[in-house]
Amino acid sequence: MKHSKAILVSVSALALAGLTACGSSGGGSPLDAPTNAGSPAAGGAIVVGSANFPESELLMDIYAGALKAKGVTVETKPNIGSRETYIPALQDGSIDLVPEYTGVLDQYFNKSAKATDSEAVYAELKAALPATLMVLDKSAAEDKDAVVVTKETAAKYSLTSIADLAPVAKDVILGGPPEWKTRESGVPGLKKVYGLTFKEFKALDAGGPLTVQALKNGQVQAANLFTTDPNIPANGFVALEDPKSFFAAQNVVPLITKSKVNDTISAALNAVSAKLDTATLAGLVKEVVIDKKDAEDVADAFLKKVSLG
C-alpha cells in the first residue's frame, strides 16, 4: 500500500492491542495515537478505515479514491483490526467511514437478527444502527463467510454442505479469526444452527494467509474463508453450501458517521455501490491477493474504468 508508514505502524500496533482488550470498558480509543494528518475532523476531512484483510483495504481505497475525485479531503487508516476494534473507533470519531457487509453488521448490532435475504437484511440493519451511524446504498457485490474444506476432506467425509459436518465435526479442527470463537456468526452460531461441536477451534487470521496455509497443510480440516477469496479456486478448496442460510446476505455497504454525510459524499459513495457486483469485486481482490498488485493502484484503475476516478 502507498499509505503513510507511520500511520500504518501506529494504527496496526494499537489495533492489535485493542483487539486483545475488546472486552474492556476503558475510555481510550484504539486509534488514539497521533498521525501526521491531525484531528479527524480538521478541515472537514473524511477518515476512511479498513478491517485487517485485503478486500476491506481495497474497498477503503476505492471509497477514498471516489471521494477524492469529488474534491473531498480524505485520510486513510488501513488494517485497523476486527469489527470489535473499528466500530468503537467509528463511534469515538477516530475514523468516519469503513466498508462493511450487511449481514454480519446487522448481527453485530442486533443480537436477535433474523433476516437472511438481501433486502430484509438491509432493512433490519438500518433499524438496528446507533443514531450516530448510517449506511448508504448497498452494492450488488456480496462477500459471505464460508466454511471451506480441501477436496480431500470433502471426499473423505462426503461433504457438500455445512450440515454434512454434523456427524464428523468431533474429528475436525476448525480454523478462523480469533473473534470467531465467540461471535454468533462463528463457532457459537454453528453449534446452535447446525449442531456442530468441533474437536477444536484454532485461532488464525481473517481469511488470510495463515488460514489458507493451515488448511493446505492439514493443521485444520475446515476453515472460515470469504466467498470472493481467489485462494478458494486457486487451491481447489470446496466452499460448503449453507442450506439453513446461517450466513445471511452480505452486501458490501459504506458505514459512515451520520454527521459527516452531505450530498457530495453520499453521491460519491452511492455511485461506487452502483458499479460493484460480486464478479467485479472478486476480480479486483484476485489482482491484489494472487497477482500481488498494490491495492491503491487496483482501486484507482477500477475507478477510472467506471468513470468515478
Q: What is the pLDDT of residues 250-289, one digit of tens each?
A: 999 999 999 999 999 999 999 999 999 999 999 999 999 9
What Rg, from alpha-carbon coordinates, does the chain have?
Answer: 19
pLDDT tens column, 73-96: 999 999 999 999 999 999 999 999
Q: Say what the pLDDT of residue 25 is.
A: 28
93 and 23 within one domain: yes
231 and 281 within one domain: no
User: Which of 181, 206, 239 is where one domain is finished?
Assistant: 239
User: Which of 206, 221, 239 is where one domain is finished?
Assistant: 239
What is the bridge-based pairing of β-strands 173-176 and 222-226? parallel
- Total of domains in the chain: 2
Q: Say what the pLDDT of residue 251 is.
A: 98
Does residue 47 belong to any structural domain of this protein? Answer: yes
Query: How much is the average pLDDT of 116-132?
Result: 97
- Long-range pairs for 261-267: beta carbons < 8 A, 24 or more residues apart: 261/134, 261/136, 264/70, 264/71, 264/72, 265/46, 265/67, 265/70, 265/72, 266/136, 267/70
Instruction: Spell out the residues 6+ positions from residue 109 whose beta carbon is closer than 8 angstroms to its own.
Output: 125, 128, 129, 130
Strand order in the sheet with 145-149: 200-203, 173-176, 222-226, 145-149, 238-239
> Over the range 74-109, which residues count as b (16 or more CB within 10 Å of their CB) and which as e?
bbbbbbbbbbbbbbbbbeebbbbbbbbbbbbbbbbe
Does residue 244 belong to any structural domain of this protein? Answer: no
Q: Tell me, what CATH number does 229's domain have?
A: 3.40.190.120
pLDDT for residue 42 is more than 50: no
Q: Which of 78, 39, 72 is nearest to 55 (CA)?
A: 78
Q: Say what the pLDDT of residue 31 is.
A: 52
Does residue 214 belong to any structural domain of this protein? Answer: yes
Does residue 153 belong to any structural domain of this protein? Answer: yes
Q: Say what the pLDDT of residue 38 is.
A: 32
255 and 131 within one domain: yes
User: Which of 219, 239, 259 is where one domain is finished?
Assistant: 239
Query: How much is the average pLDDT of 199-224?
Result: 96
pLDDT tens column, 143-163: 999 999 999 999 999 999 999
Cell of 201: 477451534
The domain containing residue 116 runs over which residues?
A: 5-142+249-305
What rounded mean pLDDT belongs to the chain? Answer: 88
Q: Say what the pLDDT of residue 184 is.
A: 86
Counts for the chain of helices (H) and strands (E), in that order? 12, 10
Q: Tell me, what CATH number does 98's domain have?
A: 3.40.190.10
